[in-house]
Amino acid sequence: MKILVLGAGAWGTALAMSASQNPQLRHEVTLWARDAVQAAAMRATRLNARYLPDLPLPVSLRVVDGPARGLAALAQGQDLVVVGTPMAGLRGVLQELAGFDQAVAWLCKGFEPADQGRHGLLAHEIQAQLAPGLRAGVLSGPSFAQEVARGQPTALVAASRHAAVRERLVQAFHSPTLRVYDNEDIVGVEVGGAVKNVLAIATGLCDGLGLGLNARAALITRGLAEMTRL
């Protein structure tokens, strides 16, 4: 499978590394960086020194750079495009990919910053505005980029209304150490990805106050129940 990952931050790089090293499938993975200097350094040193300094890039991982306006041409011929930009950059990328006819998925969690009286939108709402014809979805879940890049056990969920998108994401990233489960509820997955950070901050406060493991377990249990109701 030909996979293009847009965004050479920690999470985009980690997933590109994971797909490149999948022992069961021989994917052709390309990682795009907006910053030409960063991309050149990654090609020369085979490291993403800015975000994952101790983890060498796989030999097979191709690193490219260029302006965002060239993304549509870069995406041609790819089987899957994964958008690893921050939420603030998703709108511009989706505008460039509006005519792409293969699967697209984003990694960003949360809401778009409100602007000029516009409420903050979830990623699928931005896509519905700008590129309603895209076959798109989200890859999300409780995860740290460094652990995925190291090949430590992780579970994610591929959510989309399109079965073909979910299947493509599972084929791209499912491996012995990275388990990808498919789900039709893209709204629920995006809401969960956004509001779980509130629970994470509260858990950190609980630990900082020294309230103990019982309090932490109670907070997580009741927090998950509240997230489910929401």
What are the beta bridge partners of residue 28?
2
In DSSP notation, 154-172 reads: EEEEEE-S-HHHHHHHHHH
Q: Cβ contacts of residue 68 below 8 Å, gap of 6+?
A: 34, 92, 93, 96
Please answer whether residues 18 and 178 qualify as being in contact, where contact means their C-beta atoms are separated by less than 8 angstroms.
yes
Counting Cα atoms < 13 Å in the Cβ hemisphere of 163 gives 0
2 is annotated as an active-site residue: no
**Catalytic-role residue among 43, 62, 150, 196:** 196
Closest CA to 157 of 144, 175, 169, 145: 169
Q: What is the Cα Rg of the chain in Å?
A: 18
Q: Cβ contacts of residue 154 below 8 Å, gap of 6+?
A: 141, 143, 147, 148, 177, 178, 179
- Backbone torsions φ then ψ of 108, nearest 5 degrees: -70, 145
- Backbone torsions φ then ψ of 92, nearest 5 degrees: -65, -40
Q: Per the structure block, which two tokens stand in for 131?
A: 């590129």
Please answer whether residues 32 and 5 qualify as being in contact, where contact means their C-beta atoms are separated by less than 8 angstroms.
yes
| Residues with catalytic roles | 196
